[in-house]
Amino acid sequence: MDRVVVRIDPLALMTTPEPVPPALSPEAAARFAEFARACKGAARAVALYPGSHPAIGASLGRLAQATTRLNDSGPFRLQVRAGALLLDGAAPPRPDPALAELAEVLHRHLIGALTVNVGADAVSWRTLLLLLARTPEEVRADGGIARLWTTAGGPSLEIIEIDYAEVLREKQGLAATIDQILAAALAGPQLDLDDAAADALLQLIGDSAKLEELMAELEARVAGQGPDLKTAAFLNLLRGLAEHLARAGPDKLDAMFRQMGHAAGRLTAEDMVALLATRDRPEAMAGAINVVGATTERMTDASVAQFVAGSVIAEGGATDRLAQAFQALVPERDRQRQLLALAEAEVSASEVGDDPELWGRVEGMLTSYSDDSFVSSEYGRELASARNRAVMVESTSDDPPERVASWLATVGDAALRGLDHQLLVDLLLIETDPLRWRDIAQTIAGHADDLVRVGYFDLAWQLAEAVIDQGASDPERQPHARAALERFGRGSMMKHVAAHLRTAQDEGYERFKRICHAMGTAAVAPLAEVLSSEQDARSRRRLREILLGFGASGREAVQQLMSAPNWEVRRTAAYLLREFGGTEGLKELVPLLTDAEPLVRREAVQGLALNGSDDASALLLAALTTKAGTAQQTLASDLMGIRDKRAVPFFSFLLRRMDPGSLPHLYAAAIEAIAALGPGAGVEAVAGLEAALKHGQWWAPGRTRRRRATIAAALRKIGSAEAIEALRTAARTGPRGVRVAARSQLAGL
Let me know: does 289 contact 323? Beta carbons within 8 Å: no
**Residue-wise pLDDT tens digits, 545-590:** 888 888 777 777 777 777 778 788 888 878 777 777 666 667 777 7
Cα–Cα distance measured from residue 433 to residue 421, given in angstroms and rounded to the nearest whole number:
21
Q: For position 467, what pLDDT does the model report?
A: 92
Q: For position 396, what pLDDT does the model report?
A: 52
- Can you list the positions of beta strands (E) in 181-306? 191-193, 285-286, 289-290
Let me know: does 490 contact 529? Beta carbons within 8 Å: no
Q: How many CB atoms lie within 10 A of CB 610?
A: 19
Instruction: Average the pLDDT over 496-515 and give the result.
Output: 89
Buried-exposed string 109-123: b where 16+ CB fall within 10 A, e elsewhere: bbbbebbbbebbbbe
Report the half-sphere exposure of 663 (CA within 13 A, side-chain side).
26
- CA distances in angstroms from 444 to 266, 424, 479, listed in the order given: 27, 7, 15
> Higher model confidence: residue 748 or residue 507?
507
Cα–Cα distance measured from residue 643 to residue 645, given in angstroms and rounded to the nearest whole number:
7
Q: Flag whether pLDDT at 391 surpasses 60.
A: no
Q: For position 15, what pLDDT does the model report?
A: 41
**Residue-wise pLDDT tens digits, 360-372:** 666 643 233 334 4
Instruction: Average the pLDDT over 122-135 and give the result.
Output: 86
Task: Choose among 327, 216, 337: nearest CA to 266.
Answer: 216
Residues 6+ apart with CB under 8 A from 280: none
**Residue-wise pLDDT tens digits, 231-251:** 888 888 888 788 878 777 788
- CA distances in angstroms from 378 to 152, 369, 423, 488, listed in the order given: 33, 20, 22, 37
Element (H, E) at 161: strand 157-161
- CA distances in angstroms from 44 to 3, 111, 129, 130, 204, listed in the order given: 54, 19, 9, 10, 37
Report the half-sphere exposure of 550 (CA within 13 A, side-chain side).
26
Residues 6+ apart with CB under 8 A from 376: none
The model's confidence at residue 387, banded by pLDDT at 50, 70 and 90, is very low
Let me know: does 615 contact 586? Beta carbons within 8 Å: yes
Let me know: does 298 contact 254? Beta carbons within 8 Å: yes
Report the half-sphere exposure of 325 (CA within 13 A, side-chain side).
26
Q: For position 278, what pLDDT does the model report?
A: 82
Q: Flag whether pLDDT at 679 surpasses 80.
A: no
Cα–Cα distance measured from residue 226 to residue 235, given in angstroms and rounded to the nearest whole number:
15
- CA distances in angstroms from 624 to 3, 8, 654, listed in the order given: 55, 62, 10
Cα–Cα distance measured from residue 328 to residue 334, given in angstroms and rounded to the nearest whole number:
14
> Higher model confidence: residue 215 or residue 428?
428
Computed over every residue of the chain, the mean pLDDT equals 78
The model's confidence at residue 75, banded by pLDDT at 50, 70 and 90, is confident
Q: For position 91, what pLDDT does the model report?
A: 86
Q: For position 400, what pLDDT does the model report?
A: 73
Instruction: Average the pLDDT over 697-706 and give the result.
Output: 72
Let me know: does 117 contact 78? Beta carbons within 8 Å: no
- CA distances in angstroms from 520 to 292, 474, 485, 543, 579, listed in the order given: 32, 18, 9, 15, 19
Cα–Cα distance measured from residue 223 to residue 230, given in angstroms and rounded to the nearest whole number:
9
Handedness of CA 21, 26, 32, 33 (dihedral sign): positive
Peptide bond between residue 189 and the one before it cis (omega within 30 degrees of 0): yes
Task: Choose among 463, 468, 461, 467: nearest CA to 501.
Answer: 461
Q: How many CB atoms lie within 10 A of CB 472?
A: 12
Cα–Cα distance measured from residue 96 to residue 26, given in angstroms and rounded to the nearest whole number:
13
Q: Helix or strand or coil: residue 625?
A: helix
Q: For position 700, what pLDDT does the model report?
A: 66
Q: Flag whether pLDDT at 12 surpasses 50.
A: no
**Residue-wise pLDDT tens digits, 301-310:** 888 888 888 8
Let me know: does 253 contact 289? Beta carbons within 8 Å: yes
The model's confidence at residue 188, banded by pLDDT at 50, 70 and 90, is low
Q: For position 382, what pLDDT does the model report?
A: 59
Q: For position 367, what pLDDT does the model report?
A: 33
Q: For position 514, what pLDDT does the model report?
A: 92
Percent of the chain with pLDDT over 70: 83
Q: For position 437, what pLDDT does the model report?
A: 92
Q: Flag whether pLDDT at 51 surpasses 80.
A: no
Let me know: does 528 contact 558? Beta carbons within 8 Å: yes
- Counting Cβ atoms within 10 Å, is residue 35 exposed (0-12), middle (13-18) or buried (19+)? buried
- CA distances in angstroms from 534 to 140, 374, 569, 592, listed in the order given: 22, 48, 11, 22
> Higher model confidence: residue 368 or residue 47?
47
Side chain identity at residue 401, one-letter code: P
Instruction: Average the pLDDT over 106-119 and give the result.
Output: 85
Task: Choose among 140, 550, 156: nearest CA to 148.
Answer: 140
The gap from C-alpha 277 to its chain's centroid, in whole angstroms, comes to 31
> Higher model confidence: residue 144 or residue 50?
144
- CA distances in angstroms from 379 to 384, 387, 424, listed in the order given: 9, 14, 20
Q: For residues 19, 20, 24 and 25, what is the CA-based torsion angle, rounded to 10 degrees?
A: -120
Q: How many CB atoms lie within 10 A of CB 410?
A: 10
Handedness of CA 449, 516, 518, 457 (dihedral sign): negative
Q: For position 466, what pLDDT does the model report?
A: 92
Q: Flag whether pLDDT at 78 surpasses 70.
A: yes
Q: For position 583, what pLDDT does the model report?
A: 65
Task: Specify which residues 81 forms β-bridges with.
Answer: 84
Element (H, E) at 112: strand 111-116
Cα–Cα distance measured from residue 21 to residue 234, given in angstroms and rounded to the nearest whole number:
46
Q: Helix or strand or coil: residue 113?
A: strand
Q: For position 728, what pLDDT does the model report?
A: 84
**Residue-wise pLDDT tens digits, 455-470:** 888 999 999 999 999 9
Q: Flag whether pLDDT at 351 surpasses 80.
A: no
Percent of the chain with pLDDT over 90: 4
Q: For position 356, what pLDDT does the model report?
A: 64
Residues 6+ apart with CB under 8 A from 328: 276
The model's confidence at residue 11, banded by pLDDT at 50, 70 and 90, is very low
Residues 6+ apart with CB under 8 A from 370: none
Q: Flag whether pLDDT at 166 surpasses 70.
A: no
The gap from C-alpha 448 to its chain's centroid, in whole angstroms, comes to 15
Which of 119-123, 342-346, 692-696, 724-728 has the lowest average pLDDT?
692-696
Element (H, E) at 427: helix 413-430
Residues 6+ apart with CB under 8 A from 741: 693, 705, 708, 709, 711, 712, 730
Cα–Cα distance measured from residue 305 to residue 541, given in angstroms and rounded to the nearest whole number:
39
Residues 6+ apart with CB under 8 A from 520: 482, 486, 553
Cα–Cα distance measured from residue 307 to residue 300, given in angstroms and rounded to the nearest whole number:
11
Q: How many CB atoms lie within 10 A of CB 646?
A: 13
Cα–Cα distance measured from residue 713 to residue 668, given in angstroms and rounded to the nearest whole number:
12
Instruction: Average the pLDDT over 69-97 and give the result.
Output: 84
Q: How many residues does the chain have?
A: 749
**Residue-wise pLDDT tens digits, 626-677:** 777 787 788 888 787 777 778 888 888 888 888 777 777 877 888 877 777 7
Instruction: Average the pLDDT over 516-545 and give the result.
Output: 86
> Higher model confidence: residue 393 or residue 209?
209
The model's confidence at residue 374, banded by pLDDT at 50, 70 and 90, is very low
